[in-house]
Amino acid sequence: MEDIKKRKLDNSEGISPHSEEDLRALLDPLAKPQLVDLLAKLGSQYPSIAEEIKGIATADPVHRKLFVRGLAWNTSSDTLCAAFSEHGEIEEGAVIYDKASGKSRGYGFITYKHMESTHRALRAPSKLIDGRMAVCNLACEGLTGSTSSQDLTQRKLYIGGLSPNVTSEMLLHFFGRHGDIEEGSVAYDKDTNESRGFGFVTFKTVEAAKKAIDDPQKTLGGRNVIVKLADSHKGRTIQTQLPTPMFQMPLPLAPGYAQPGKAHPSTAPHGYGYPPAVGPYHDNTYSSPPTAPYPTQSQIPYPYYIGKQ
């Protein structure tokens, strides 16, 4: 009799079975970290639950797709895939090319077959590919990923006054003494592939960037280079010098008399177009052309503004 009472007592104190609806009601108010901890514990104890979690997480490619920027113009899709294949099997990978010119746009995408491969790649987001330091993040997170823009402005440096023979590898090696570099490259002309005389270096920490700015030794490739925050270099435009006109502007005539000449078109004259933007990830933005009236094409060429140098 005592054994029966004891078994009844044990059953009454045990956890009674719940329906799926009851469990959903219990789980609904829980925060995401609590749910993650709960599922992680269950997955580690029960392999079947672990496989189900893996299947659900891997089903959507958005969790397996990486955005890779900072690629060299000559980096091919095969080279890109080869660089990232060390982390696992790649389902799809490609460099993105401009449809009109057929040239690389300096970025690409990698989609792994398994999420574990994606996580391994994100632990080492920077890779030296074809002499350029490329960096990756989840494609769904956009350009900067989880890094705050405020933090990025304190870590990204503009390096000016570079010698034409300074390569991206030389630039990264020189500034690597101050700390780990997340991304960096010499800026090259897209058409000629020649150095534009400046570059950018993004450190992983603000402290490393400050050390690079404060370091008095700034001689690279036989030249003293300019080192400052890239954000402070934004918005600077240089206007080409307007040549002094070798003619005398006519005085306006009295009302009723025809004015000499003809109206100037609102667009730039033929042969004096504005320089196109190279791409969204290479800091090649240009200011708008002036809107004030200007002389006719036969008198003076229409000036334009040059982008950031």
CATH code, domain carrying 119:
3.30.70.330
User: Are 67 and 131 part of one and the same domain?
Assistant: yes
pLDDT score recorded for residue 16? 55
Q: Is residue 49 part of a domain?
A: no
Residue 19's pLDDT is what? 87
Does residue 177 belong to any structural domain of this protein?
yes
**Sequence-distant (≥ 6) Cβ neighbours of residue 179 within 8 angstroms:** 203, 204, 205, 207, 208, 209, 211, 212
**94: in domain:** yes
Q: Does residue 284 form part of some domain?
A: no
Closest CA to 128 of 91, 96, 176: 176
In this predicted structure, what is the pLDDT of residue 108?
Answer: 95
Blockwise average pLDDT, block size 10, the chain, 309 residues: 51 62 90 91 90 84 91 92 95 94 91 93 88 87 56 90 91 91 85 89 91 93 92 52 40 44 40 40 42 44 41
Q: What is the pLDDT of residue 17?
A: 66
Q: What is the 3-state secondary structure (H, E, C) of the chain?
A: CHHHHHHHHHHHHCCCCCCHHHHHHHHCCCCHHHHHHHHHHHHHHCHHHHHHHHHHHHHCHHHCEEEEECCCCCCCHHHHHHHHHHHCCEEEEEEEECCCCCCEEEEEEEEECCHHHHHHHHHCCEEEECCEEEEEEEHHHCCCCCCCHHHHHCCEEEEECCCCCCCHHHHHHHHHHHCCEEEEEEEECCCCCCEEEEEEEEECCHHHHHHHHHCCCCEECCEECEEEEHHHHCCCCEECCCCCCCCCCCCCCCCCCCCCCCCCCCCCCCCCCCCCCCCCCCCCCCCCCCCCCCCCCCCCCCCCEECCC
Q: What pLDDT score does 278 carry?
A: 40
Tell whether 129 and 173 lie within a shared domain.
Answer: no
pLDDT of residue 10: 52
Same domain for 211 and 155: yes
- Read off the pTM: 0.54
Whether 88 is covered by a domain: the verdict is yes
Cα angle 108-228-162, degrees, rounded to a multiple of 5:
70
Which domain does 78 fall in, by range? 61-141
CA distance 286 to 140: 28
Which of 81, 112, 141 is the C-terminal boundary of a domain? 141
The pLDDT value recorded for residue 248 is: 42
Domain count across the chain: 2
User: Is 82 part of a structural domain of the chain?
Assistant: yes
Instruction: Give, in order, the Cα–Cα distances in Å from 205 to each of 136, 157, 201.
Output: 17, 12, 12
Point out the domain boundary residue: 113, 141, 169: 141
Residue 149's pLDDT is: 52
The answer to whether residue 251 sits within a structural domain is no
pLDDT of residue 192: 84
Tell which of 141, 169, 197 closes a domain. 141
